Amino acid sequence: MAPAAAEPDPGEPSLPVASVARRLGVAPATLRTWDRRYGLGPSHHVGGRHRRYGPADIGRLELMQQALLRGTSTAEAARYALERMPKAAEPPPPRTSAPEPTTSLRIDTPDGELLLPAEAGEPGQSRLARRLSTAALALDSRAVQRTLTDVIEGAGVLSAWSGVIQPVLAALGDRWRGGGTSAGAEVEYLLTDAVLAALIRATPVLDEPRNHRPVLLACVPEERDGLALYALAAELACRGVGTQLFATPMPAEVLAVAVRRGAPSAVVLWARRAGVADTRLFSRVARGRQRSRLFACGPGWDAGGLPPKVELLADLAAAVDRVEYVLLGSRD
């Protein structure tokens, strides 16, 4: 039986859930899920209701992350963390050095070798990427969905997207387009639909968003790949930020009407492919009395050609942090 929880030291530093989530690179909703399902939450409250994590609590979460990165399931990782560090134990010593990054990841699958981009080369994510790619290549929808659920719950939406999902999608797409495998476009289609469903499931429905007016997320008219916007909407919702999502590309005039009628607090226009983003689109959506903060997001934008009042967001993580800060400020 695990030892009883020790009384916290009043002088011991502690952090709110938002700060711990940023420190670990996961969504606050993920921490709450780990607390609810596995008991890996803060040890005490401050001021009656506010839950704060002490060093030991954070140490257990770091142990859990280490286990997840070695490829264990979320439940196994939680059990490992609690066994290694019961509630009364001291936190582990801080890590003195970060692991050396790798430039690529080669995965052996039943259908041959799969080379993933550098984003999936972080330690421990190879097993998750292997599970996902193997299930997709086998057209095993249930295994794909189970793996996606494990990845998102274990790492959070953005880490799951950038470290596993997007690299596997890119590698599988490049593979069949290059003619290097018998597996064809059906694999990419199956995985894309499964990812879409998983991201929608991971998006909480907000009864009371923290922002009074929503953030409008839309693809530019010529962009056909809006899957990343679902990941962006999911992570913003996990942080309590409400959105209006238009992942299906609309004509510029329809997008302008949507902005005018929706009165968003911010507009984020997504472009993945080079050459599809027209900077004049911002002047179309900025017309009218309602003023919104304007953001360009994705690798398809040319920073040099953006209007002065449009801010470029390098990736989804930067988009979430910046939009949240601009609209709501720091939560600490």
Q: Kindly report the CATH number assigned to the domain that includes residue 155.
A: 1.10.1240.10
- Structure-derived torsion over alpha carbons of residues 192, 194, 195, 199, reported in degrees to the nearest 10: 140
> Per-residue pLDDT for the chain (332 aa), expressed as one digit of tens each?
444 444 444 445 678 887 787 777 777 777 877 887 788 888 765 444 456 888 888 889 888 877 776 666 777 888 888 888 886 544 444 443 443 444 445 555 555 555 555 444 455 567 888 889 889 988 999 999 999 998 998 888 988 998 889 888 888 877 666 555 555 788 889 999 999 999 999 999 999 999 999 999 999 999 988 999 999 999 999 999 999 999 999 999 999 999 989 889 999 999 988 888 888 899 888 876 667 889 999 988 887 788 888 999 888 888 999 999 888 875 54
Predicted local confidence at residue 215, as pLDDT? 95
Statement to judge: residues 321 and 242 lie in one domain: yes
DSSP annotation string for 24-80 = HTS-HHHHHHHHHHH--S-SEEETTTEEEE-HHHHHHHHHHHHHHHTT--HHHHHHH
Statement to judge: residues 64 and 119 lie in one domain: no
Q: Which helix (H) or strand (E) holds 100?
A: none
What amino acid occupies position 159?
S
Q: Is residue 6 part of a domain?
A: no
> Where does a domain end: 178, 201, 224?
201
| Backbone dihedral angles phi then psi of residue 109, each to the nearest 5 degrees | -120, 165
Statement to judge: residues 122 and 37 lie in one domain: no
Host domain of residue 196:
105-201
Q: Is 262 exposed, middle or buried (0-12, 13-18, 19+ CB in 10 A)?
A: middle
- In total, the chain counts a number of residues equal to 332
- Structure-derived torsion over alpha carbons of residues 94, 99, 105, 109, reported in degrees to the nearest 10: -50
Q: Is residue 1 part of a domain?
A: no
What are the structure tokens assigned to 292, written together?
A: 């919104």
Q: Is residue 207 part of a domain?
A: no
Statement to judge: residues 109 and 19 lie in one domain: no
What are the structure tokens assigned to 9, written together?
A: 């030291």
Predicted local confidence at residue 120, as pLDDT? 45
Statement to judge: residues 160 and 183 lie in one domain: yes
Please tell me the distance from the alpha carbon of residue 241 to that of residue 250, in angstroms, as a whole number.
23
Spatial contact of 285 and 256, defined as CB atoms under 8 Å apart? yes
Q: Is residue 54 part of a domain?
A: yes
CA distances from 277 to 187, 224, 291 (A): 28, 12, 22
Q: Where are the beta strands (DSSP E) in 99-200?
A: 105-109, 112-116
Please tell me the distance from the alpha carbon of residue 107 to that of residue 111, in angstroms, as a whole number.
10
Statement to judge: residues 238 and 180 lie in one domain: no
Statement to judge: residues 224 and 313 lie in one domain: yes
Q: Is residue 10 part of a domain?
A: no
Entry pTM = 0.66
Q: Is residue 94 part of a domain?
A: no
Statement to judge: residues 152 and 175 lie in one domain: yes
Statement to judge: residues 185 and 148 lie in one domain: yes
Statement to judge: residues 156 and 118 lie in one domain: yes
Predicted local confidence at residue 258, as pLDDT? 92
Predicted local confidence at residue 173, as pLDDT? 78
Statement to judge: residues 308 and 219 lie in one domain: yes
> Where does a domain end: 157, 173, 201?
201
Q: Is residue 28 part of a domain?
A: yes
Q: Could you give the number of structural domains in the chain?
A: 3
